Copies of this chain bind each other. A is one copy, B any other.
């Protein structure tokens, strides 16, 4: 299938390139031209889309989420992380079947599409069911391994690494990881470190989300979670830390030296009263930061516009500096850094040879007017209402409020409500 999208403003997110007027050509799942208006010549099109002067940019990368937790939305709010996890989340999750995860993941994919998200870094169980859900939708998913003392075996981890990474044409892939220092024994972490070395893999993990987590690790090991995990050899090939809220000076150096990514989750950190991550300091040290929504049980939504405003707004207050983390930096975090953090460098920018994972932002809405600075408008006043189209791998999955999936939204809502009623009562 060959597609031409014309009459667009284009923000490629390539270094130092500003917005320009032009068009994008797509062959199958790949971008074959991005630039000013151009005669088609020999090209013929299966589909031509008039962008009507609206903005095309790379889709947002949700670099930390737990998709199937949609069933817990608004179920257990207003609680501390540890109580929330142990008394509400873990007991409910224990009742989930693969079929449940299949439907709950589809519900999450719908929500991602309305927010302009084109790929996710998803940490959840019942992986085969989750993979089936996203692949049927035509959505792109990188699984993050979440093994810990309460679930998973190292043999299964090694098998999954092969299963989900062997076919490069699939929309699903896999990165090595584990749940967190506080849920994983030293012995298991050493096995993960061994696997990371065997295949030269980056390792991803929840880290330093709450003060209590850091204090607990210090009591047990005499070290911060970052220092302790590093001492076990987990980060020899890089990786990433989800949350990264409470860090000491030594942690910052380790993160920089081991070339780790940090994925910030500001809405979830507010709602669980975990704190505000030191994003400005990370960026000042050259540490790349990406953005995630975290799961819908703690956030409670999967809205990258909310996260983007929070990333910059919270730093301004935290650092008493209204210049902290300007809009273009936020857009880079939400697109380029996210793609690279989850191992999708082919999805980072709108460029020839890259995947056609892109969104159209409706500029003909009051919150985008006047059009003085479109990048700032997207970060400071944009909302899900502005997502006019979401395309993954050259396929339009959402346009003008309509979903183009393999099943009806009503069926997905019905199933999600059934599951919530059965498990939560």
> A residues touching B (Cβ–Cβ < 8 Å)?
70-71, 73-75, 77-80, 84, 107-108, 110-111, 114, 267, 269-276, 296, 299-303, 305-306, 309-310, 312-314, 316-317, 319-324, 326-327, 364-367, 369-373, 376-377, 380-385, 401, 409-410, 412-413, 416-417, 419-421, 424
What residues on B are CB-neighbors of A303 within 8 Å? 367, 381, 383
What residues on B are CB-neighbors of A376 within 8 Å? 74, 77, 300
Looking at the assembled complex, report how far the CB atom of A252 sits from the nearest CB atom of chain B, in whole angstroms: 21
B314 touches A270 (CB 8 A): yes
What CA separation (Å) do A323 and B83 show in the bound complex? 12
B366 touches A107 (CB 8 A): yes
What residues on B are CB-neighbors of A319 within 8 Å? 273
What CA separation (Å) do A420 and B377 show in the bound complex? 14
Q: Which of B73, B79, B306, B320 contacts A273 (CB 8 A)?
A: B320
Please name the residue on chain B nearest to A104 by beta carbon: B370
What residues on B are CB-neighbors of A84 within 8 Å? 322
Please name the residue on chain B nearest to A77 by beta carbon: B376
What residues on B are CB-neighbors of A316 within 8 Å? 78, 270-273
B317 touches A275 (CB 8 A): yes
A78-B323, A373-B75 known; A381 vs B296 contact (CB < 8 Å): yes
A322 touches B267 (CB 8 A): no
A74 touches B380 (CB 8 A): yes
Looking at the assembled complex, report how far the CB atom of A318 sits from the nearest CB atom of chain B, in whole angstroms: 9
What residues on B are CB-neighbors of A313 within 8 Å? 267, 270-271, 310
Looking at the assembled complex, report how far the CB atom of A18 sits from the nearest CB atom of chain B, in whole angstroms: 14
B326 touches A114 (CB 8 A): no
* Closest 4 pairs (CB-CB, A-B): A301-B381, A270-B313, A74-B376, A111-B366
What CA separation (Å) do A229 and B381 show in the bound complex? 34
> Which of A275, A296, A365, A385 is the most central at the interface, judged by chain B CB atoms within 10 Å of its CB?
A385
A70-B370, A110-B366 known; A276 vs B317 contact (CB < 8 Å): yes
What CA separation (Å) do A213 and B17 show in the bound complex? 40
Please name the residue on chain B nearest to A326 by beta carbon: B78
What residues on B are CB-neighbors of A70 within 8 Å? 366, 369-370
B377 touches A300 (CB 8 A): yes
Looking at the assembled complex, report how far the CB atom of A409 sits from the nearest CB atom of chain B, in whole angstroms: 7
What CA separation (Å) do A200 and B385 show in the bound complex? 43
A417 touches B371 (CB 8 A): yes
What residues on B are CB-neighbors of A269 within 8 Å? 317
Looking at the assembled complex, report how far the CB atom of A75 sits from the nearest CB atom of chain B, in whole angstroms: 6
Q: Which of B79, B276, B299 contacts A322 (CB 8 A)?
A: B79
Looking at the assembled complex, report how far the CB atom of A122 sits from the nearest CB atom of chain B, in whole angstroms: 16
What residues on B are CB-neighbors of A410 within 8 Å? 364
A-B residue pairs in contact (CB < 8 Å), sample of 11: A70-B369, A110-B366, A271-B313, A273-B319, A273-B321, A301-B367, A306-B306, A364-B409, A364-B410, A369-B413, A369-B416
Looking at the assembled complex, report how far the CB atom of A377 sits from the nearest CB atom of chain B, in whole angstroms: 5
B367 touches A111 (CB 8 A): yes
Looking at the assembled complex, report how far the CB atom of A208 sits from the nearest CB atom of chain B, in whole angstroms: 16
What residues on B are CB-neighbors of A322 within 8 Å? 77-80, 84, 271-273
What residues on B are CB-neighbors of A77 within 8 Å? 322, 326-327, 376, 380
Looking at the assembled complex, report how far the CB atom of A184 sits from the nearest CB atom of chain B, in whole angstroms: 25
What residues on B are CB-neighbors of A367 within 8 Å? 111, 114, 301-303, 384
Q: Which of B299, B305, B424 contacts A380 (CB 8 A)?
A: B299
